[in-house]
Structure 1
Amino acid sequence: MTIQTANLRQSLRKQRKGLNQFQQRIFERTSLQKIYQYPHFKSAQKIGIYLDAFGEIRTQKLIELCFTLHKSVYLPMICNMNQRLVWVKISKQLYRNNRFSKHSLGMLEPMASRGLHVSHLDLLIMPLLACDRYGTRMGMGGGFYDRTLASSPHKPYRLGLGHNFQYLDQHLKRHVWDQALDGFICPAKSYFFKRSP
C-alpha cells in the first residue's frame, strides 16, 4: 500500500467516524429513498446486506424495508477456513431480537453454523471506504468481499452504499483481485457503472 493510499484511507475513516447521530439519520433516510427507487433493488428477491458498525450508512431501515416488501435478507458471516464471506438468511424476528455475535474485527454477525455462497444472491449491498467514477471500490482492507466475489461463477449485482464524500471523482488504483461495483448510492446521487468482462 502506498503512502498516498494509506493517507486516503485514514482520512476517509476519520470523516466517517466524525459524523454525528443527526447526520447519520438524515443520510440513512435519504439513501433509503434512492435505494427504494433503484431498478435492481426493485427486481431483487435475495438481498445481501451488511450490518453497519464503523460509521457506514446505516442499514436498519433498509433491512426493515426488505422485510416489509417480503424480500429475503442475507447477512454476511466470515468463514474462518478460507476468510471468505457466506450469507445467512435472517428472519424479521431474529433480526429484531438482535440474535448476533460480535466478531473479533468489531462487527456483528448472525449466529449460524453455515450460510450460502454469494452466487445465490440477486443483489449485494456493500460497505466501502471509497468508490471512484469507474466503480472501483476501496474496502476496509480485509479483502473479504473481493475474495468472496472472485470465487463466484455467478456474480450478483454489486451496489456500493456510502456517504457523499466517499465518491471520488478520480481514478483509484485497481488491482487484478479488486471486484468493481455495478452501482453506487450516496445521499446526493445514484451512479451506474459498466462492469468489465
Structure 2
Amino acid sequence: MQKIQRSLLRKKRRSLSHRVQQRTEQRICARVIHSALFKKAQRIGLYLHAFGEVRTHLLIMQCFKHKKSVYLPQVSQLNKQLKWVKVTQQQYLQKRFSRHHLGMYEPKQRGHSVHILDLLIMPLLACDALGTRIGMGGGFYDRTLATAPYKPYRLGIAHNFQYIPTAVIREVWDQPIHALFTTDQAYYF
C-alpha cells in the first residue's frame, strides 16, 4: 500500500504548478516563522528542495534574517545517515553545493551529527494523524534520528493533500514527527 501511495504522491507533488508551489512556500514560511518553535530555536536543520517538496528558499532566508544558524543535510557515504552542515548566507546564495547521485543537492563541506539541532524541518511524501511520516523511501532521516543521542524537535512541512487523516502502518524503524505544518493547518502530535 505504501509503495502505491509513494508513487501517486510523488507524481501529484511533482505536477504542482510553479504558482501553487510559490504560494505554498509563502504560506508555510509565514506559519513557521510566526510559531513559537521557530522563535525559540537557534540551530535549524532544513533541506534543499529537489523533488517537488515544499520549497525552502524563503524559510532559509528568514532564518538568516532572524539570525538563526542554518544547517543543511549531507549524506554520509559510510552509514547512509545524514550529517548537518552549517552554511552562511553567502555560501547559500552562491550555491556552494554538489549534486548527490540520488539527485538532491548537498553542501560541499563536512557535516556534523544531528544532535546539534534545535529544530529539524523535514520533507515528506505524507503524514498521518499520529505523526507517522512517509518519506521518499531511502530511510536517511529515520536512520539518522534513530541513533541520535539528542533528538531535535521534528517539524514536517507539506502541501495540504499530503496529510492523511487515517493511520498508516508505522514500521519499527519509522521516526515520527512532532508537528506538521501545511498551507491551511498546523497539526501537533
Range class of TM-score, shorter chain: over 0.9
The alpha-carbon deviation at position 65 of structure 1 amounts to 0.2
Aligned counterpart, 2:155: 159
Distance in 1 (alpha carbons) for counterparts of 2:21 and 2:119: 23
Who is 2:173 aligned against?
A: 177
Indicate yes or no: 2:43 matched with 1:46: yes
One-letter amino acid of the structure 1 residue matched with residue 141 of structure 2: Y
Q: How many residues align structurally?
A: 189
Q: Which of 32, 36, 39 is the equivalent residue of 1:35?
A: 32
Q: Hey, what's the Cα distance between the residues in 1 that align with 2:6 and 2:138?
A: 13
Q: What TM-score do the two structures reach when normalised by structure 2?
A: 0.99
Structure 1, residues 149-173: CA drift from partner, whole Å, max 9, x if none? 0111110000001110000011111
Which consecutive residues of structure 2, in runs of 5 or more, have no partner in the other structure? none
Q: Which residue of the partner structure matches residue 128 of structure 1?
A: 124
Aligned residue number for residue 104 of structure 1: 101
Unaligned runs of 5+ in 1: none
Query: Displaced runs of 4+ in structure 1, greater than 2 A?
Result: none
Amino acid at match of 2:173: W
SS in 1 for 2:174: coil
RMSD: 0.6
Q: What TM-score, normalized to structure 1?
A: 0.95
Give 1:136 shift.
Answer: 0.3
Give the fraction of aligned pairs with identical amino acids, expressed as a percent: 51
Amino acid at match of 2:74: M
Alignment of 1:10 onto 2:12: no
Note the alpha carbon deviations across 1:49-80, whole angstroms, 9 max, x for none: 00000001000000000000000000000000
- 1:151 partner amino acid: T
Q: Deviations over 1:144-196 (max 9, x none)?
A: 00000011111000000111000001111101110000000110111111xxx
The amino acid that maps onto 2:23 is I
Query: What's the counterpart of residue 75 of structure 1?
Result: 72
